[in-house]
Amino acid sequence: MQKPLLLLLFFCTFLAAQAQDITGTIRGAVKNEKGKPVEMITVALEGTVLGSNTNAAGEFEISNITPGSYTLRVGGVEYNTLKLPVTVAADQVVTLNLALQTNQQALREVIVSASRTVESLDETPASVYVLDARTLQLQSQITTNISNVLANTVPGLALNSNTTSNVGQTLRGRNVLIMVDGIPQSTPLRAGGRDVRTIDPAAIERVEVVKGATAVYGNGADGGLINYITRQADTSKPFSATTSVAGTGMLFHSDDTFGGRISQQFTGKIKALDYVASGTYEKTGVLKDGEGQVISPVYGLGETSQYNVFAKLGYTLNPNHRVEAMYNYFGSRQQSDYVLQEGVYAQSPSIGVKGEQQGLSEGTRYNHNAQLRYTGKDLLLHTNLDLSAYLQDFYTVYGWTPYFQNGGQSTIKSVKKGARLNLNTPVNLGNATMQISYGVDYLNDVTSQPLVDGRTWVPEMDLHNLAPYAQLQLNLFQHLIVKAGYRHDNVRIAVPDFQQLVLASGTGGEYVNGGTLKFDANTYNVGLRYAALQAFKPFISYSQGFSMIDVGRYVRGAKENYISQMDLEPVIVNNYEAGFNSSIGKFMISGAYFISTSKLGANLKANADNVYEIERAPERVSGFEAIVDFFASDKLTLGASAAYSEGKVDLDNNDSYTDAVDAYLNGTRIPPFKLTSYLTLKPTQKLQFNLQWLYSGDRDKFARNAKGSYSSGEGPVKAFNVFNLAGSYQATEKLSLDLGVENLLDQAYYLPQAYWYGRNDNFTRANGARFQLGASYKW
């Protein structure tokens, strides 16, 4: 596999050296219907990789254009897309003054996560959800827990647990790959459930969610991926800054619940250099439920300090060549004066009572992300090049437990180093255009699970993954988009000799011979979208993704004496989907139905002793999602979304999921029905309110086990309703005030995880009414 990589790197160097001079230029300005300049509008030539964004004065320029006739596409958030023919001759400068019409329903133009190239939602034959900057800011007024923000907004994503853990927060009933600017945050070698909450919202520009199995970024996205796109620099001035402060606490039973948050951001552009940097600190007080009882501190978010430092520096060598460096640090640590008092499952909640916690404070000590990136445009054959190298260094500490001999605390350490080379070459076919994206990814992931005292639970597992890929996009008759692609992942995992940890039960202590685990994963995708009619833009797609079993969980309890004897065959998921987007009058509607199958599974199944085992049987998950938005006026907007999925395991492997022996997937995988709704009211230009309603349904699929209790993941889930409120007031041009209230009606309710765990210690209520009152000042 080294030869293809060397050839691609050589080709990359050759392209950069052979960049051609192209003689035409298009420049101009974009204004709205009131004659005011419009910033950050995308201006691009269809069928090519040439494009630009407007600056603060609405100006743009596209240079180095091959003489010929093109279609210029102009559009952006809240504006109708404008398309017009344009002809460019050699040595000609075409000057255009363009006007766009405002349209709140306009689709967000640019996404990158679905295919690793810049494209619009209209071009993507897949379900993609974009949480834009304004929606993210609105949700962050209610809660700054990004896990909670995503759960409240993304259809198909399971609800969070109100803890540091995201176990059970699946996407369409399967694994979701979490990334920061394409850097993987998930730790698939030893899944620790700490990957969703790895960055503060203040460092995020937008969130792109690709639903359904996808292998575009490799392992772990058999249910889809969530990519946190970090902040971009404001290039309209040399320097600007924003200071934000907020106070938090419980609306009722407020003793000891008050906390605070401060965030500072700097950004600007000086000649060819642009920059953005921010720092955030937040300290929460005690969290209480709707009855005023202190919520269990086990992996809790109360009495927690959270830190985030972010910086991005970019240098534009010329319009076609740019280098960029990004760094983000996230840390979280709980120091609680409370300890767990167990409740009674399905009767009374587990709570926190005053006491001294054993061991070290729980939390993510650090999560470092760094990336160096070079982009080159319009090289040989008009090819775009994107080359990046990245590092993720992650360390988290779990709570003290008597599970080990003499007790102890486990940790997860993971260091990822990787490189990505992506090339995109356009091909003009006359009445049709084609783009070919191709390249190679390399990843080295070293993950282990030691205890804080140095004992080894899972030794250092050393993964190497090399993956060449290719993706083709064909645009026929301007509105018919066909996509197809292939990716080959070559995976090798080295595990050293080690002695298993002795547990409190006296088991363990066995010597295990190490070895190398190997597998290859070949994944394909094909999709079709028709985008001619605003009233109905349908798509169909077939896509594959893959994920490994939790290798660390397997290794630490290995029954095989030799690691090389383990069954590491990857889970290849087939995702079949049909969906549509519609814009009809004041309505925007979208929906999708999907079926997800795999010949092998990696379902965690708990036995009567609540010991997890890996169930390797065929699986089938199916469901639907629907979103409706109604733009009643410029002052009133209404909307709702619904998501449902269900899944079963074919335990007798006979291609039928209706036999008596077959079973439903448990709550760690399948969430209950979720319905969200919102009402946004803007009575004046300065004042805005947003009321949100979340409904989570019942799910009861399992009987009690032989001990008369529910196995972990199989407890019956009960429904609940919760309302959230956000309001903001633009006091001056520079000063804004905001207020958010989580659980406005102070309901005493339980999230699904509290029920499906089926255990006394996890039967914990969600937050009661909790406020966040803040102010932001731009200077």
Under the banding of pLDDT at 50, 70 and 90, the label for residue 67 is confident
Run of H or E including 29: strand 24-32
State residue 612's pLDDT score.
Answer: 65
Q: Each residue of 433-463: pLDDT tens digit? A: 899 999 999 999 999 999 999 999 999 999 9
What DSSP character marks residue 514?
-
What three-state secondary structure class fits 730? strand
Q: What share of the chain is helix, strand, coil (3-state, %, to 5)?
A: 5, 55, 40
Q: Each residue of 253-300: pLDDT tens digit? A: 999 999 999 999 999 999 999 999 999 999 999 999 999 999 999 999
CB atoms within 10 A of CB 361: 16
Q: Each residue of 10-37: pLDDT tens digit? A: 444 444 444 344 568 899 999 988 888 8
Please provide the size of the chain in residues: 779
CATH architecture of 24-103: Sandwich (2.60)
The pLDDT of 42-67, averaged and rounded, is 79
User: Which sign, positive or negative, has the C-alpha torsion 502, 503, 504, 505?
Assistant: negative
The pLDDT of 42-62, averaged and rounded, is 79
Given a contact cutoff of 8 angstroms between Cβ atoms, the answer to whether 39 and 58 are in contact is yes
Residues 6+ positions from 633 with CB-CB distance below 8 Å: none
Q: Each residue of 373-425: pLDDT tens digit? A: 999 988 888 899 999 999 999 999 999 999 999 999 999 999 999 999 999 99
CB atoms within 10 A of CB 359: 16
State residue 1's pLDDT score.
Answer: 47
Given a contact cutoff of 8 angstroms between Cβ atoms, the answer to whether 340 and 761 are in contact is yes
- C-alpha torsion 656→657→659→662, nearest 10: 130
Which of 511, 513, 468 shows the shortest CA–CA distance to 489?
468
Indicate whether 108 pLDDT > 90. no
Whole-angstrom distance, CA of residue 615 vs CA of residue 600: 9
Cα end-to-end span (Å), the chain: 53
The count of C-alpha atoms lying within 13 angstroms of the C-alpha of 595, restricted to the half-sphere facing its C-beta, is 5
State residue 4's pLDDT score.
Answer: 46
Indicate whether 761 pLDDT > 50. yes
The pLDDT of 746-751, averaged and rounded, is 97
- Neighbour order of strands in the sheet with 204-211: 127-131, 204-211, 224-230, 177-180, 183-184
The pLDDT of 648-659, averaged and rounded, is 94
Under the banding of pLDDT at 50, 70 and 90, the label for residue 662 is very high
Indicate whether 578 pLDDT > 90. yes
State residue 30's pLDDT score.
Answer: 92
Q: Where in the chain is the domain with CATH 2.60.40.1120?
A: 24-103
The pLDDT of 524-548, averaged and rounded, is 94
Q: Each residue of 485-495: pLDDT tens digit? A: 999 999 999 99
Given a contact cutoff of 8 angstroms between Cβ atoms, the answer to whether 413 and 405 are in contact is no
Which of 380, 374, 484 shows the shortest CA–CA distance to 436?
484
Indicate whether 639 pLDDT > 90. yes
The 3-state secondary structure of 60-87 reads EEEEEECCEEEEEEEEECCEEEEEEEEE
Residue found under tokens 């074919």:
650
Percent over 70 (pLDDT), the chain: 94
Residue found under tokens 């009402």:
679
What DSSP character marks residue 451?
B
Which of 733, 693, 736 shows the shortest CA–CA distance to 134?
736
What three-state secondary structure class fits 440? strand
State residue 54's pLDDT score.
Answer: 83
Which of left, alpha, beta for 508 (phi over 0: left; psi -120 to 50: alpha)?
left
Of 25-34, 41-50, 219-228, 397-406, the poorest mean pLDDT is in: 41-50
Q: How far is CA 297 from CA 351, 503, 735, 769, in A?
A: 8, 24, 36, 18
Given a contact cutoff of 8 angstroms between Cβ atoms, the answer to whether 394 and 370 are in contact is no
Of 105-114, 220-229, 623-632, 687-696, the poorest mean pLDDT is in: 105-114
Indicate whether 91 pLDDT > 90. no
Indicate whether 8 pLDDT > 70. no
**Amino acid of residue 515:** G
Whole-angstrom distance, CA of residue 175 vs CA of residue 168: 9
CB atoms within 10 A of CB 478: 15
Q: Are strands 93-100 and 24-32 parallel, antiparallel or unpaired?
A: parallel
Given a contact cutoff of 8 angstroms between Cβ atoms, the answer to whether 364 and 331 are in contact is yes
Under the banding of pLDDT at 50, 70 and 90, the label for residue 49 is low
CATH architecture of 225-778: Beta Barrel (2.40)
What three-state secondary structure class fits 533? strand
This prediction's pTM: 0.89
State residue 94's pLDDT score.
Answer: 93
Residue found under tokens 């809790």:
300
Of 64-73, 158-167, 443-452, 701-710, the poorest mean pLDDT is in: 64-73
Indicate whether 338 pLDDT > 70. yes
Query: What does the block give as tokens for 632?
Result: 């009643």
